[in-house]
Amino acid sequence: MKLLRYGLPGQERPGLLDDDGIIRDLSDHVRDIGGESLLPETFERLRGLDTSALPTVAEDVRIGPCVANVGKFICIGLNYSDHAEEAGMPVPDEPILFFKATSAISGPNDPVMIPRGSKKTDWEVELGVVIGKEARYVAEEDALSHVAGYCVINDVSERAFQLERGGQWVKGKSADSFGPIGPWLVTRDEISDPQGLGMWLEVDGKRYQNGNTSTMIFGVAHLVSYVSQFMSLQPGDIISTGTPPGVGMGLKPPVFLSEGQSIRLGIQDLGEQNQSVRAT
């Protein structure tokens, strides 16, 4: 299934994308896409619905973040060796964890807002992993059973805030609009191997990132297991698994986003995002 949320910000309703690419309303069957609606038993019930009987939704409706009420937005740093090289940082021996504020979450096609004082706003296409069942001290071989599905994430980052202002990376990762997720949550059963997905990102039509999840240092199962050793993972939590090379700060000379530009990115089988860049 491809689950989504549609409508104005703060007024999103649950939906799904049917096999013909038509958005169908799920409001009579789940309150929202998040929390308990991500449990395996809820998915089984939704799979039993006759999608052709569900109400259709207008094609031009806004698509919101694909998960509601995210409890934890966990990010993995330097999870592609070639990205670590372009960033001038050593390849980590263990996953690097940091958090993105949940207030950064936005819809996949909402504008990216350059924060006040920013001179180095950057892009990062990433595979998002959405938790569907509580994970606490899980073994790697069991980790994927705790995953509800996957989504596209643009881990927008302000590099000066992140790397030049002291403290932790969260300052450069958490501005409003710095966490577009979606367009949809693709359930785990539709992705046979999360370690074989092509991913790409373009700015103003120029391809900067062109990678594949197969080159992750730490794969999805390892990450879910690893994180669960330090904190419980709850339904609706998101893990953003790192980015391949081609980010703006790694270019020579570096390239950063400016008002009026457009960003387009996607991951194989998970859909695309399109964002305009605006000043705050």
Q: What is the CATH number of the domain that holds 215?
A: 3.90.850.10
Is 242 contained in some domain? yes
pLDDT in tens, 117-153: 999 999 999 999 999 999 999 999 999 999 999 999 9
CB atoms within 10 A of CB 60: 5
Is 272 contained in some domain? yes
Is 258 contained in some domain? yes
pLDDT for residue 101 is more than 90: yes
pLDDT in tens, 260-278: 999 999 999 999 999 999 9
Predicted pLDDT of residue 87: 77
What percent of the chain stands above pLDDT 90? Answer: 93
Task: Over range 29-45, report the average pLDDT.
Answer: 96
Tokens of 86: 């372009």
pLDDT in tens, 199-208: 999 999 999 9
What percent of the chain stands above pLDDT 70? Answer: 100
Q: Per the structure, how many domains does the chain have?
A: 1
Q: Which residues, other chains included, contact 21 with Cβ-Cβ below 8 Å and sequence gap of 6+? A: none
Domain hosting residue 136, numbered range: 68-279
Instruction: For residues 116 and 217, give the distance between their C-alpha atoms in angstroms, rounded to a whole number.
Output: 34
pLDDT for residue 165 is more than 80: yes
Instruction: For residues 278 and 276, give the distance between their C-alpha atoms in angstroms, rounded to a whole number.
Output: 6
pLDDT in tens, 70-87: 999 999 998 998 787 777
Is 130 contained in some domain? yes
Give residue 38's pLDDT band: very low, low, confident or very high (50, 70, 90): very high
Is 17 contained in some domain? no
Is 164 contained in some domain? yes
What average pLDDT is seen over the chain? 96
Is 165 contained in some domain? yes
Is 39 contained in some domain? no
- Render the burial of 63-93: b for 16+ CB within 10 Å, e for the rest: bbbbbbebbbbbbbbbbbeebbebbeeeeee
Task: Over range 108-121, report the average pLDDT.
Answer: 98
Predicted pLDDT of residue 167: 87
